Structure 1
Amino acid sequence: MNDLDTMYTDATCYESETTDPKLLSEGIEKAYVIMCALSAKLNLHRPRTKYLDVEKANLSYRKQRRHTQVQTRKLTRRLLNLLGKILKERRRMERENAGMEELLTSRQKSDIEIITRMYRQKKNHFENDDPRESVKDRIVSISKPYVRPIVRGKEVKSVEFGAKCNNILVDGLSFIEKLSFNAFNEGTSAALPEDAPGALRCGCEESRCRCRLCRQHQQGILQGERDTEFVHEAGAVRPS
């Protein structure tokens, strides 16, 4: 292998299919089916909800090509109220009927737990009324609760959903330096260790290069900065 002193790094996102636009509707459908199944097994009257009315309103909303902010908030409020009512009725049935949890499968228990967490996140986000609010461990898919939104800042798609990966290219060979479903700063993930000899330089091999890394190295202020981001297109090299 040649050129072992030169390293190129770049981050990408392996996207996964998510159901974020229909997340509340999917949660309502799953929770409603579980509630109806429990009512049938326990020989109880099915609790009254406005499931059919809300579903008609949701279908009418999705058929429209454009939506105003008032329409979106109105439908979101109705979906949140319906989902909260279904979860409340299920908890009431659980308190009144001992051993009801044994009637649920492991998949149904997992779905109920994820739907409850998602409902709390959506409820708090809706009440705060801040579209730029950052939600910690935000759930964007019930079937894949580990998927997180990754802000990439691209012009076409600013947010991607999936695993973020930082790749390193050395002499034509690509290595995965870090893979995570949570967002991270790829600029500091491949930093040199504390005891690495020499300073970090850019790989342009130009004595008059004026990039930030070269200017800092020429000024002699890079000796203690081991977590500097790789800002030059040529990557970063460690001088021999």
Structure 2
Amino acid sequence: MYRKEEQTQTPASNFELPFEGKLSEDNRWVIMADLIPWAEFEEEYSSGFSEKMGAPAKSFRMALGALIIKEKLGISDRETVEQIKENPYLQYFVGISSYINEAPFDPSMLVHFRERINAELVNKINQQMVKKMLEKTSYPSAEKKTESSEKEVSEPKNRGKLILDATCAPGDISYPTDLGLLNQARKQTEKIIDFLYEQILDQLDKKPRTYREIAKKDYLEVAKKRRVSQKDRRKAIKKQLQYIKRNLSHIDQLIVSGASLESLSKRQHKMLLVVAEVYRQKLWLYENKKQSIDDRIVSLNQPHIRPIVRGKAGKAVEFGAKLSASYFDGYVFLDHISWDNFNESGDLKAQVEAFKNYTGYYPESVHVDKIYRTRENRAWCKERGIRISGSPLGRPQKNISKEKKKQALDDERIRNSIEGKFGQGKRRFSLNRVMAKLSHTSLTAIAMTFLVMNLSTHLSRLLSAFLCLLLKNTPFFRSNMIESYI
């Protein structure tokens, strides 16, 4: 059940506190609350709830605000609730009209918030929020249109620089190995056998033998070695495959004897399906002596995660979601995200068209790395008057002018800005290790990182503008500027 409330924003000066004083208008949470379009997406969020049945759900502002607080502060779900309970500014940010000395919701609600607010909705909020930021920071002179500019409305010229790149958001899993995954799969089958056997304990004379102690000993004999030969590894993998095959046949026999798969929990049933698929993949790899297979599972608890071959220094393969992003005017947007590996060069056209739909004109130049510079993409950009960065195709030129060298150097410097954004997301925020376990909640967490990065960018710009204004009005600073010009 969802009860709609009036979207009247309580002014920060009217926020009631149990003690004397008012909230500061210059506080970062008050500023961010004014930037986020809460009311515009309330209807889309509430469409998933019933108006008559169920308990009243938390508001859209409280759900999205809690996720922003968690990502901004880099804390856990429990700590997020504690921070909201203690901080009146955070309570104002999530839409509470007066200070309360109790938790507004249980920490487990953040899981539901991530399920209700999907990545697509977060991207829409991010785009509307950035548009609002750009309107606030635009100069008044830019809004005035001359007669010549009015004539150019029908055919807008290319403006701005669009930067494109792709990266990987690793999931929170241990480094997968074939032997380690098979050992985990064997343990899961043993737990399922124990559970099913308890249901028909009176109908069977003896419990099916799983040889779990011997299987554990065989695994540790190889896993504890610092260096393992290929022959010993294949021998250990073969043994674990045989143990899993025997356990799966025991599960089939228990079902025939009267045990019911319906008694398994949703988690156990999913794990059984994952284990069967892992067994099939590892058996095929072992018999065919191959190193790769399509849709390879690398984690039992998160079977949606796939290996992403990146070829980076120190990390040839990453395990998580691959994403492509676009960057302009200091803000970054999530354009494409997938658990499967993809060629990011195929996203260039859609990203440029999205830039035009967002701004109303094509970019003057597109700054990308070598993988984007295909013949098809070059021809497509040339038709629309867009300059694509990088050297032309064909044999390298011997005599290059200074202007072209300078332009190539400037293009690389410009492209570094999106690399810096990826670094910010992975070092300052949670893009380097996505802690969410489900597929859809992980995508929401990744999209939230880009939204919070744009909020942080706008706050830093406001701070820089305030410091510049403060320094210009300082007599010491003004006198030093005059002396430097003299």
* Range of TM-score over shorter length: 0.7 to 0.9
Residue 95 of structure 1: how far off its partner (Å): 1.8
Question: Paired residue for 2:279, among 119, 126, 137?
Answer: 119
Question: Paired residue for 2:264, among 92, 104, 124?
Answer: 104
1:60 aligns with 2:60: no
Counterpart residue type for residue 285 of structure 2? H
Question: Paired residue for 1:9, among 164, 168, 184?
Answer: 164
Counterpart residue type for residue 392 of structure 2? C
User: Which residues of structure 2 form unaligned runs of 5+?
Assistant: 1-133, 139-157, 354-379, 397-410, 416-486
Q: Partners in 2 of 1:18 and 1:128 — Cα distance?
A: 27
Residue 5 of structure 1: how far off its partner (Å): 2.7
Q: Partners in 1 of 2:305 and 2:384 — Cα distance?
A: 39
Question: Paired residue for 1:69, among 230, 240, 257?
Answer: 230
RMSD across aligned positions (CA): 2.5
Per the alignment, in what secondary structure is the counterpart of residue 233 of structure 2? Answer: helix
Counterpart residue type for residue 9 of structure 1? L
Question: Paired residue for 2:392, among 199, 211, 233?
Answer: 211
**Contact 1:4–1:171 (8 Å) recurs in 2:** no
1:136 aligns with 2:294: yes
Residue 116 of structure 1: how far off its partner (Å): 0.4
Residue 61 of structure 1: how far off its partner (Å): 1.5
Structure 1 residues 181 and 4, CA, compared in 2 at 3 Å: closer, same or farther? farther
Question: Paired residue for 1:198, among 362, 379, 384?
Answer: 384
Percent sequence identity is: 30
Residue 4 of structure 1: how far off its partner (Å): 4.7
**Contact 2:381–2:387 (8 Å) recurs in 1:** no
**Contact 2:381–2:388 (8 Å) recurs in 1:** no
**Contact 1:4–1:170 (8 Å) recurs in 2:** no
Question: Paired residue for 1:84, among 222, 245, 267?
Answer: 245
Q: Partners in 1 of 2:187 and 2:159 — Cα distance?
A: 55
1:25 aligns with 2:211: no
Question: Paired residue for 2:194, among 21, 27, 36?
Answer: 36
Which sits farther off after the overlay, 72-81 or 1-10? 1-10
**Contact 1:15–1:162 (8 Å) recurs in 2:** yes
Q: Partners in 2 of 1:183 and 1:199 — Cα distance?
A: 31
**Contact 1:16–1:162 (8 Å) recurs in 2:** yes
Q: State the TM-score, normalized to the length of structure 2.
A: 0.40
Residue 41 of structure 1: how far off its partner (Å): 2.3
Residue 51 of structure 1: how far off its partner (Å): 2.0
Deviations 1:95-145 (A, max 9, x none): 221x511321111111101110111011111110022xx311111111101
Residue 199 of structure 1: how far off its partner (Å): 4.3
Corresponding residue for residue 159 of structure 1: 317
Q: State the TM-score, normalized to the length of structure 1.
A: 0.79
Structure having the larger proportion of residues in strand: 1
Residue 203 of structure 1: how far off its partner (Å): 4.6
Q: Partners in 2 of 1:57 and 1:37 — Cα distance?
A: 24
Structure having the larger proportion of residues in helix: 2
Structure 1 residues 105 and 212, CA, compared in 2 at 3 Å: closer, same or farther? same
Per the alignment, in what secondary structure is the counterpart of residue 217 of structure 2? Answer: helix
Counterpart residue type for residue 256 of structure 2? R
Q: Partners in 1 of 2:329 and 2:265 — Cα distance?
A: 51
Structure 1 residues 173 and 4, CA, compared in 2 at 3 Å: closer, same or farther? farther
**Contact 1:32–1:86 (8 Å) recurs in 2:** yes
Residue 14 of structure 1: how far off its partner (Å): 0.7
Residue 32 of structure 1: how far off its partner (Å): 0.5
**Contact 1:148–1:162 (8 Å) recurs in 2:** yes
Which sits farther off after the overlay, 107-116 or 57-66? 57-66
Residue 40 of structure 1: how far off its partner (Å): 2.1
Which of the two has higher C-alpha Rg?
2
Q: Partners in 1 of 2:197 and 2:159 — Cα distance?
A: 66
Residue 155 of structure 1: how far off its partner (Å): 2.7
**Contact 1:49–1:86 (8 Å) recurs in 2:** yes
Residue 54 of structure 1: how far off its partner (Å): 1.6
Corresponding residue for residue 254 of structure 2: 93
Deviations 1:184-204 (A, max 9, x none): 111121225679962442258
Deviations 1:44-85 (A, max 9, x none): 322113221121121121211111001100000000110111
User: Which residues of structure 1 form unaligned runs of 5+?
Assistant: 205-209, 216-231, 236-240
- Consecutive aligned runs of 4 or more in structure 1 exceeding 6 Å deviation: none
